[in-house]
C-alpha cells in the first residue's frame, strides 16, 4: 500500500495523479520500481520503448519465463491502483521467493508496461504491443497534445526510436502471462469477494470525430442561419448514448469533447470528440459502432455541417486461456477463497500479449467498483489476498507441456 502511495506522488498534476508515458514523472516512477525489483533479487532495465523489465532467474540461467506485471502509466486524474497494484504485487511475490532462497524450474519476469492507457498519443497498449512485436512503426509519428511525436518523446527519454523493434520478445521466451489488476467494476464487492478470475477481456472500438460548421458572432447570427458545430456534436453525444442502450451489455462513452475556437461569444465553427464502444461480444459491439456512425452522419447532414469520423482502434474480445483460468482458480481455492469467474469490461495489456503467450488475469476487489477516478480504493487485506493467490499460482505453476 505504501508503495502505491509512493508511486502516486510521481505525477504531472498538482494534488492528483496523472502520469503519461515517457514523461519525467514516468521516469521517476520507473527508477523507483527498478529499485524495488533489484531489492527483490531481480535484474531490472528499461526496454526500447520504456517498459520496466525485471527478471528473476529460475533454477538455471536463461530459462523461459512466466511473465507477470501490469502498467505504470495512468489516465488523467487517476486512481493509484489501476496498473500499479499488479506490478507491486508481482514484485512482492518475487521478493518472497528471493527471501526464501527459492528458485523455480522457470524464470519470472515482471513488466511495468508504459502507455497501456493511450492517454499521451491516443493509442493504447503501446508498451505491450512493442513487447509482442506488433507495434506499427507509423505510430512513432503520432503526436501528443503539445504536438510532440512519440519518436521525439522517446529521444527525450534517452531512447532510440530506431531500436523499437528490440523490445519484441518471441513466443518461445514466455510460458504464460498473468496479470493481477483491480476489477474496476462492482461485481466482487457486491458478492463480498476479495478476488476473482477473469474469463475474457471485452473488445473495444475507438473513434475520433470532428465536425466543421461556421464560426460566427454569438450576438448577430439568427438561430436559423447557424451551422453550430458544438450543437451538432451535443446531439451526437446523445445518439452515442442511445445506440449503446439499445444493445445488451454494450457500453459507449464520449470521454473528450472540444469546442473550437472555444470563446464565449463565438458560435463554435468546429467540434471534436472521441467515442469508446465496448462489449463482451464482437458482433454486438460492431453493430453498435455502425449504428453510432450512421446516426452521427445523418445528424450532421440534417444540420448542414461537415463530418470527419475515423476508427482509431479496434480490438476484439480477448479470451483468457482455460488452463490459466483453472490454475488461477486452483490458487484461489488453495487460499481458502471462493472462485468467481467474471469478464473484464476494462482493457488490459493481455490483449496485446495474447499474440505471443496464453494469458490469465486475477482481479482484486475495489471500493464501489470505482476506477479512473482519484476515489479508487482497495483494502490492504484484499491486496494481500491477491498477492497470496498470485504467489501460490506462481509456486504451483508448471509449463503446460510438463503437466
Residue number with CB closer to Mn ion (83 or 345): 83
Closer CB to ligand HGY, residue 95 or residue 354? 354
- Shortest Å distance, C-beta 209 to ligand HGY: 18
Decide whether 230 or 364 has the Cβ nearer to ligand HGY: 364
The nearest distance, CB 50 to ligand HGY, in angstroms, is 17
Q: Strands 270-279 and 251-253: what pairing?
A: antiparallel
Whole-angstrom distance, CA of residue 314 vs CA of residue 387: 32
Q: Counting contacts by CB under 6 A, is residue 116 touching ligand HGY?
A: yes
For residues 36 and 89, give the distance between their C-alpha atoms in angstroms, rounded to a whole number: 11
In Å, how far from its chain's centre is CA 311? Answer: 18
Beta-strand ranges (E) seen in 160-298 are: 174-182, 195-201, 203-212, 216-217, 251-253, 257-260, 266-267, 270-279
Residues 152-171 that bind ligand HGY (CB under 6 A): none
Per CB under 6 A, the segment of 36-44, 116-124, 222-230, 333-341 that binds ligand HGY is 116-124
Q: How far apart are CA 3 and CA 331, in angstroms?
A: 25
Contact predicate 47/53, CB 8 Å: yes
| Cβ nearer to ligand HGY, comparing 124 with 318 | 124
Q: How far is the CB of 117 from ligand HGY (least distance, A)?
A: 5
| Exposure letters 117-149 (e unless 16+ CB within 10 A, then b) | bbbbbbbbbbbbbbbbbebeeebbebebeeebb
Nearer to Mn ion by Cβ, of 26 and 56: the residue is 26
Quick one: 117 or 358, whose CB is closer to ligand HGY?
A: 117
Is residue 269 within 8 Å of residue 187, measured between CB atoms? no
Other CB atoms within 10 Å distance of the CB of residue 293: 18
Contacts of 156 (CB under 8 A, 6+ apart): 22, 148
Q: Give CA–CA dist 316/248, Å, rounded.
A: 17
By CB under 6 A, is residue 124 in contact with ligand HGY?
A: yes
Counting other chains too, the contacts that 256-259 makes at CB distance below 8 Å and 24 or more residues apart are 257/233, 259/229, 259/230, 259/233
Is 25 a binding residue for Mn ion by CB under 5 A? The answer is no
Whichever of 210 and 253 has its CB closer to ligand HGY, that residue is 253
Q: How many CA atoms lie within 13 A of 348 on its CB side?
A: 35
Interaction residues for Mn ion, span 75-94 (CB under 5 A): 82-83
Using CB under 6 A, pick the residue from 92, 115, 117, 228 that binds ligand HGY: 117
Number of residues that bind Mn ion (CB under 5 A): 2
Whose CA is closest to 285, among 274, 275, 272? 275
Q: Are 276 and 255 in contact (CB under 8 A)?
A: yes
Write down the least CB distance from residue 345 to ligand HGY, Å.
Answer: 8
Is 179 near Mn ion (CB under 5 A)?
Answer: no
> 124 vs 354, which CB is nearer to ligand HGY?
124
Give the contact letters, 303-342, x = binds to ligand HGY (CB under 6 A), - = no: ----------------------------------------
Q: How far is the CB of 153 from ligand HGY (least distance, A)?
A: 19
Q: Which residues inside 335-394 make contact with ligand HGY, applying CB under 6 A? A: 346-347
208: which 3 cell numbers?
475520433
- Closest CB 331 distance from Mn ion, rounded Å: 21
Comparing CB distances to Mn ion, the nearer of 296 and 366 is: 366
Q: From the list Mn ion, ligand HGY, none, pick the one residue 194 interacts with, judged by a Cβ distance below 5 to 8 Å according to partner type.
A: none
Residues binding ligand HGY: what is the number (CB under 6 A)? 5
Q: Which residue has the cell 498519443?
A: 121
Residue 128 C-beta: closest distance to ligand HGY, Å: 11
Q: Minimum distance from CB of 69 to Mn ion (Å)? A: 11
Q: Is 115 in the site for ligand HGY (CB under 6 A)?
A: no
- Residue 83 interface partner, choices Mn ion, ligand HGY, none, CB cut-off 5-8 Å depending on type: Mn ion
82 vs 109 by CB, closer to Mn ion: 82
User: Whole-angstrom Cα distance, residue 265 to residue 279?
Assistant: 40
> Which positions lie near ligand HGY, rule CB under 6 A?
116-117, 124, 346-347
> Which positions lie near Mn ion, rule CB under 5 A?
82-83
Amino acid at each position: 500500500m505504501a508503495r502505491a502511495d509512493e508511486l502516486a506522488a510521481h505525477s504531472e498534476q498538482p494534488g492528483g495523479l496523472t502520469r503519461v508515458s515517457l514523461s519525467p514523472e514516468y521516469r521517476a516512477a520507473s527508477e523507483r520500481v527498478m529499485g524495488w525489483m533489484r531489492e527483490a533479487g531481480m535484474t531490472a532495465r528499461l526496454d526500447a520503448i520504456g517498459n520496466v523489465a525485471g527478471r528473476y532467474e529460475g533454477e538455471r540461467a536463461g530459462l523461459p519465463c512466466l511473465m507477470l506485471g501490469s502498467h505504470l502509466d495512468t489516465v488523467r486524474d487517476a486512481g493509484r491502483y489501476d496498473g500499479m497494484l499488479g506490478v507491486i504485487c508481482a514484485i512482492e511475490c518475487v521478493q518472497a521467493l528471493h527471501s526464501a532462497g527459492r528458485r523455480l524450474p522457470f524464470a519470472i519476469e515482471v513488466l511495468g508496461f508504459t502507455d497501456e492507457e493511450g492517454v499521451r498519443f491516443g493509442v493504447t497498449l503501446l508498451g505491450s504491443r512493442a513487447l509482442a512485436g506488433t507495434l506499427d512503426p507509423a505510430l512513432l509519428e503520432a503526436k501528443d497534445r503539445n504536438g510532440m511525436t512519440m519518436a521525439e518523446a522517446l529521444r527525450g527519454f534517452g531512447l532510440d526510436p530506431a531500436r523499437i523493434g528490440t523490445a519484441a520478445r518471441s513466443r518461445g521466451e514466455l510460458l504464460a502471462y498473468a496479470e493481477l489488476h483491480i476489477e474496476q467494476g462492482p461485481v466482487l464487492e457486491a458478492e463480498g469477494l476479495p478476488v476473482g478470475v477473469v474469463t475474457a477481456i471485452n473488445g473495444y472500438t475507438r473513434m475520433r470525430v470532428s465536425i466543421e460548421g461556421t464560426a460566427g458572432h454569438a450576438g448577430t447570427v439568427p438561430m436559423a442561419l447557424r451551422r453550430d458545430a458544438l450543437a451538432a456534436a451535443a446531439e451526437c453525444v446523445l445518439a452515442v448514448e442511445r445506440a449503446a442502450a439499445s444493445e445488451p451489455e454494450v457500453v459507449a462513452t464520449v470521454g473528450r469533447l472540444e469546442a473550437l475556437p472555444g470563446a464565449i461569444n463565438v458560435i463554435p465553427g468546429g467540434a471534436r470528440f472521441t467515442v469508446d464502444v465496448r462489449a463482451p461480444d464482437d458482433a454486438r459491439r460492431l453493430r453498435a459502432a455502425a449504428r453510432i456512425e450512421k446516426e452521427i452522419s445523418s445528424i450532421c447532414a440534417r444540420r448542414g455541417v461537415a463530418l470527419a469520423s475515423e476508427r482509431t482502434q479496434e480490438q476484439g474480445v480477448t479470451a483468457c486461456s482455460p488452463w490459466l483460468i483453472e490454475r488461477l482458480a486452483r490458487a484461489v481455492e488453495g487460499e481458502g477463497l471462493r472462485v468467481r469467474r467474471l469478464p473484464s469490461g476494462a482493457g488490459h495489456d493481455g490483449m496485446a500479449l495474447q499474440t505471443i503467450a496464453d494469458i490469465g488475469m486475477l482481479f482484486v476487489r475495489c471500493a464501489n467498483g470505482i476506477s479512473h477516478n482519484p476515489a479508487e480504493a482497495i483494502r490492504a487485506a484484499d491486496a494481500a489476498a491477491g498477492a497470496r493467490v498470485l504467489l501460490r499460482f506462481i509456486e504451483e505453476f508448471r509449463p503446460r507441456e510438463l503437466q
